[in-house]
A and B are shown apart, each in its own frame.
Chain A
Amino acid sequence: MSLFYLVAFLSILFSLLVIFTKNPVHSVLYLIATFFTFTIHYILLNAQFLAVVNFIVYMGAIMVLFLFVLMLMNLNKDTEPVKSNLIKIIGVIAGGALLVTLVGASKALQTSAVSAGPNSEIGLVENLGKVLFNEFLLPFELSSLLLLSALVGAILLARKDKKTQNG
């Protein structure tokens, strides 16, 4: 039980560091740590398939992509844009208001109906695979189409177009 609270504290700490660190590279590294704590959360919930997918997709693919783009741009410290303090204070107040609203709404929610206790078997690969390939077969195939179109779109956007570049 106390492990959950320790990991939750670490998630909140690292995600705060993500948005308040000046250097973007440090920000990406803290984001990796945040995703690692999320992986531990998934293991604690006994969602083993999601833990592995989170580890591979987020910490492997997406973070490498972020770091690669950051290194490509070689940002100097003085090009780091700084917002005025007034905007920052207004942003934090607006976020706090959102948090109060969300927590208040969840207090009003009756969660006793679903607190039957976690089923430890559904997060395993076998059960998820059965659900994924029976009920969700069409969305699964459509998501492959989505990934293909994203691949083509990313290459099309990121490459230099020689025909339209007139000097």
Chain B
Amino acid sequence: MDNITATIQVVPLNHYILLSAIIFTIGVIGVLIRRNAIIIFMSVELMLNAVNLLLTAFSAYSGDASGQVFVFFIMALAAAEVAVGLAIIVMVYRNTNSIDINVLNRLKW
């Protein structure tokens, strides 16, 4: 375990910020370029995870446990969000026989 702790001290905090920014951006690109509702949902999960990782890194580097408690709450919220969201997707699929989000374009007006 000392070995692992020595590992963290070498990695600068900036690299965690960079990694989280890259993964968050990948999630945003996934939302923008895909039309499958489930894949859009998975991209939202990627974004949530990037934020979680960044919060954990900040918490570990600044020695404050509140950040990790916050990540725990975000995980509980993500589980609730996935359950409701997938139920909505199943409902949409049952009514339109497709999970293409362009079927739902009347929601825009």
Contact = CB atoms under 8 A, between A and B. Distances in A.
Interface of A: 1, 3-4, 8, 11-12, 15-16, 18-19, 24, 27-28, 31, 34-35, 38, 41-47, 49-50, 53-54, 57-58, 61-62, 65-66, 69-70, 72-73, 75, 79-83, 87-88, 90-92, 94-96, 98-99, 102-103, 106, 109, 111, 114-120, 122-123, 127-128, 131-132, 135-136, 139, 143, 146-147, 149-151, 153-155, 157-158, 160
Contacts of A18: 26, 30, 39, 42-43, 46
Contacts of B7: 1, 3-4, 44
Q: Is the interface of B mostly helix, strand, loop or mixed?
A: helix
A4 B11 contact: yes
A38 B38 CA distance: 21
Interface in B84-99: 84, 86-91, 93-94, 98-99
Contact of A19 (B12, B19, B39, B62): B39
10 contacts: A18-B43, A35-B49, A62-B45, A65-B82, A69-B86, A92-B29, A102-B25, A118-B9, A151-B83, A154-B83
A45 B7 CA distance: 9
A127 B102 CA distance: 48
Nearest to A148: B80
B57 to A, nearest CB: 6
B49 A34 contact: yes
Contact of B46 (A31, A61, A66, A120): A31
B104 interface: no
Given A50-B71, A79-B98, A98-B28, A118 B60 contact: yes
A102 to B, nearest CB: 4
